[in-house]
Structure 1
């Protein structure tokens, strides 16, 4: 994995906000198997013949806290950046407008760690206007924040139409949108309402299904990222609104509303989830807040950026697939990035297409300004993804195209702290050596791993970059049980989601299966490629919404409702399908493929208070002809 410039600076800034803010938590399957396309070609970098055009204007000028009235009377506030002449005066004329909607306070600037989006100057100097708007209940905007509520969803479309209106003397009626994370998800919601004037969007690291992507991976509550995120939103929201100086009534009212929301939305939501209330289960609350709910209505060209170690590692490819299958112009770059790195996209030029500014300029010039770009599709593949192991940037026409299911049976016995079992490739119905493996409850499993870094948005590795545990998972694997192949005699390549069907028993009837898939080098270094999680009691499978490859389950879908929760009976052994989040990797000859299973993933996940006792008994993995535990990968 290459290491990235700028991530330490971004992380330190975000950390400052989290320390100063209040640390408060939380917040449908989108695609079936797609059409078959050519497999990804091996290349290290694709050089585009396109060259970014020079600036049209020498500078920019900013107008702050424009009032943007919503249909319910609430006033949102936005900062507008316009092209300026050499004297710093705004240039007369109408321009296409790039809109960014943020929950991190448009006035926070560097303090927000770059999560307010890229600096607008590059695009503005090339003939765009840029409008950054504080979401309802954040920054200088009035109202109470409720994290992608239906009302905020409606706001997004209304903001676009306000910016596109010819009543704005600086707007030519054409709008694009950009920004990462929350700002990226706002774009999906805006585009889903199909507002007049919206021509294209450029979401970085967006979610698809917030419950499965981040809030409760596998059915336990995310206590790693969600409190940090809510602390960031809350912390930046209580900064006194800048508009108070010019509109005291609006500014004071906004601040009071923001403070009230912390007590009426964020804190109660977190407590209810951890106490096992309805907020701990999937349902309307999370569906309303998932971009997957509206992605089927998005019609505008969309450029997606994702990260292999991002908190939305699972969801971004699902958004891509939905758009591509419906014929919407779409491209996606997935790099070796965590959430902060994917948000900054400072290393996106390694994919071979230019910097983030240049990519956005090209996308918006083509689809917002309507400038002809006959080589856009030949220069930029539909999918460009970083391949772990080889270090190559690979190109493909589809996310799931020429893959085939490759199965590895768990065989023999394994024990925590040693005693490695075997993964055997071949016929899933073949006879294997039977065995059992007890997974002990070790409450520090997961600590100081790539999972730790991923689910705290990349802050730990940025602060302590030299810790060996970020790159070697071997110590953590000893806190659970391990199965691995013999040294490979051929290259194994994969791209996409992975499934582990583990026949499991538990004295308590429940518990967490925390699964990692790794590449073991000949020198014994264990590189964690990806991971997945599943509580035993929520093992119920929705086959209609699950994905299959060559007739084998590759991406399970679990309902995660209160009604679907069913602990194991005493002595019962049942199959539990663990959704392992998608990745792209190459394992070279001489390396080994490994699956490791633990009963905790700290500090990522926590059981609810009522489920905590059931996680303390451990669990047992069974493998035999009667109980054929198997790891299934999407091989290339």
Structure 2
């Protein structure tokens, strides 16, 4: 925007604002001449509940789907294998398509692949007690790949696929460097589970996590298919599930809500975060992410970590929530084919070893959907070298529901914006859909709360620019630094970055959260663009917690999750700030009283509250 925001001067700049986005043309792969090869086999057959023994005696169970010949019998040849490890009960999702099931396996099976779908330890039909990405489960994931690598129906070459839990399992499996693993295709995986989803900004997630834990536990209570043939094993599996509910799931939720150790970052979450082992992943990786996904923050971090090390990696980030990203809904709009076609191309090249000279020319390293212009932008990196920081100062006093403050690169008007706690803030937003994994979108697709954030903005303070004269293009994470005071010493900021159209419609682009007492900043682990902080890293430990003193005004850096967006000429950039984000986050019970008091944002030369965006 010339790195300085000015008032709209001419309508002609609107056209100029849409030309320089660098879009990836729709149908790029098809235009290059690549076409998905046709199916070779008409049918398939599935062997259920194969025994996969682990080194500690626990037996996992897997379903194997093989292509069949004209006689209806499994083909008598060794095949490349695609492995999927799920926590959602393979008997319920096997062979399905869409939602958390991902792509249907029949597409690859009909083209000469074997599909092995395995219930993770302590879930579905597998034995043991579930530990949700524990070190033991990561070891299991590597062992499953090696088991598939060595079977008589396998040619020894293995890939992995699947979204969400199945995507995260792929990263842990790859970190074990199992024999035979050639490539992975994780959709919507996490990087840092505490900051990505469990406690974004330091408050406990009460939207998705309880639903997820309940889903895994409930799916595990379905009796295994082999129960009639192996009653002792079937009964033992049921006992294991009940143990999971009573010794892991329920205590974890209870302790987090009561503000005990699970409410803070530490070894438990480090063990379950793929970013902690990403330096041991070296197989080609294709990532799919969503701008409204649960792992909006984490998937690009995985991409950048692999890209920096020279691992063959690609990523497509679209306008998707978790269910949409898991299903691959609309992935073809990026121009590279459907989810099944992309998987075929990736696995044919890296697993089957079929040369594809045009692959890198057809599909750039990173492609994202640009909100505001509805274009697809291709780049080499997420935090690219051509980015530079744009910092805007919050100015004046914003009065909730009455008058906004301003965002400026000029002089600041001293002010104080007092925000009363409004415990329904967040209900009428895309945040509510995002942090319930996309359920709101599924139930009520035409919900006006998904399209316009104006109602929610009335529950907090807003600061906005004048209409822009030139486009402002944002790519990556954002930092909001709010100089804060509060009589209780604590509370939480919920910050939303928005696009205000000339007709007043408010489009939520992205959001971020930060508990005031967890404001300690680890500069070594934070991210900067040209020396400007764009992604703060807070420890979120009990020992680092520091409530504000009475009368103290201190800066609080709020990590606003990464996005790709363009604020077009004539539109305004808005920052909206609330003290709650429901049903996403709630404070632990002991902290609840300290969040029910007003918070104050200070804006002045002495207290320069700002927002810093990576722009291009």
Query: TM-score normalised by the shorter chain: which range applies?
Result: over 0.9
The question of 1:359 aligning with 2:336 is answered: no
The question of 1:150 aligning with 2:135 is answered: yes
Q: Which runs of 4+ in 1 moved over 4 A?
A: 110-113
Unaligned runs of 5+ in 2: 1-19
Q: Deviations over 1:573-630 (max 9, x none)?
A: 0000000000000111110000010000001000001100000012000010000000
Cα distance between partner residues in 1 of 2:376 and 2:591? 43
Change over 3 Å in CA distance of 1:40–1:286 after alignment to 2: farther
Task: State the shift of 1:249 in Å.
Answer: 1.6
Q: Deviations over 1:231-264 (max 9, x none)?
A: 1101111000112122222121111101111011
Does the Cα contact within 8 Å between 2:97 and 2:103 map onto a contact in 1?
no
Which residue, 85, 106, 115 being the options, matches 1:101? 85
| Superposition pairs of residues 305-316 of structure 1, within 5 angstroms | 305-316=288-299
Cα distance between partner residues in 2 of 1:629 and 1:316? 29
The question of 1:164 aligning with 2:149 is answered: yes
Q: For residue 255 of structure 1, what is the aligned residue in structure 2? A: 238
Cα distance between partner residues in 2 of 1:142 and 1:40? 51
Which residue, 115, 120, 142 being the options, matches 1:135? 120
Task: State the shift of 1:392 in Å.
Answer: 0.2
The question of 1:470 aligning with 2:450 is answered: yes
Task: State the shift of 1:565 in Å.
Answer: 0.4
Q: For residue 69 of structure 2, what is the aligned residue in structure 1? A: 85
Task: State the shift of 1:43 in Å.
Answer: 4.2
The question of 1:72 aligning with 2:56 is answered: yes
Task: State the shift of 1:332 in Å.
Answer: 0.1
Cα distance between partner residues in 2 of 1:332 and 1:143? 34
| Superposition pairs of residues 426-505 of structure 1, within 5 angstroms | 431-505=411-485
Cα distance between partner residues in 1 of 2:93 and 2:309? 37
Q: For residue 23 of structure 2, what is the aligned residue in structure 1? A: 42
Does the Cα contact within 8 Å between 1:518 and 1:593 map onto a contact in 2?
yes
Q: For residue 408 of structure 1, what is the aligned residue in structure 2? A: 392
Cα distance between partner residues in 2 of 1:411 and 1:66? 64
Does the Cα contact within 8 Å between 1:104 and 1:112 map onto a contact in 2?
no
Task: State the shift of 1:460 in Å.
Answer: 1.0
User: What TM-score does the superposition give when structure 1 sets the normalisation length?
Assistant: 0.92
SS in 1 for 2:213: helix
Task: State the shift of 1:42 in Å.
Answer: 2.8
Task: State the shift of 1:551 in Å.
Answer: 1.1
Does the Cα contact within 8 Å between 1:336 and 1:386 map onto a contact in 2?
yes
Cα distance between partner residues in 2 of 1:342 and 1:210? 18
Which residue, 612, 615, 623 being the options, matches 2:592? 612
Unaligned runs of 5+ in 1: 1-38
Does the Cα contact within 8 Å between 1:85 and 1:91 map onto a contact in 2?
yes
SS in 2 for 1:453: helix
Q: Which moved more, 1:463-472 or 1:369-378?
A: 463-472
SS in 2 for 1:147: coil
Q: For residue 589 of structure 1, what is the aligned residue in structure 2? A: 569
User: What TM-score does the superposition give when structure 2 sets the normalisation length?
Assistant: 0.95
Which residue, 359, 365, 385 being the options, matches 1:382? 365
Cα distance between partner residues in 2 of 1:112 and 1:129? 17
Cα distance between partner residues in 2 of 1:251 and 1:496? 48
SS in 2 for 1:610: helix
Q: Deviations over 1:93-130 (max 9, x none)?
A: 10010000000000013899642332211111111111
Cα distance between partner residues in 2 of 1:107 and 1:42? 41
Which residue, 245, 251, 255 being the options, matches 1:268? 251
Q: For residue 119 of structure 1, what is the aligned residue in structure 2? A: 104
The question of 1:628 aligning with 2:595 is answered: no
Does the Cα contact within 8 Å between 2:97 and 2:104 map onto a contact in 1?
no
Q: How many residues align?
A: 592
Q: Deviations over 1:33-57 (max 9, x none)?
A: xxxxxx9623452521210011121
Q: Deviations over 1:529-562 (max 9, x none)?
A: 0000000000000000001112111000000000
Alpha-carbon RMSD: 1.2
Change over 3 Å in CA distance of 1:192–1:43 after alignment to 2: closer
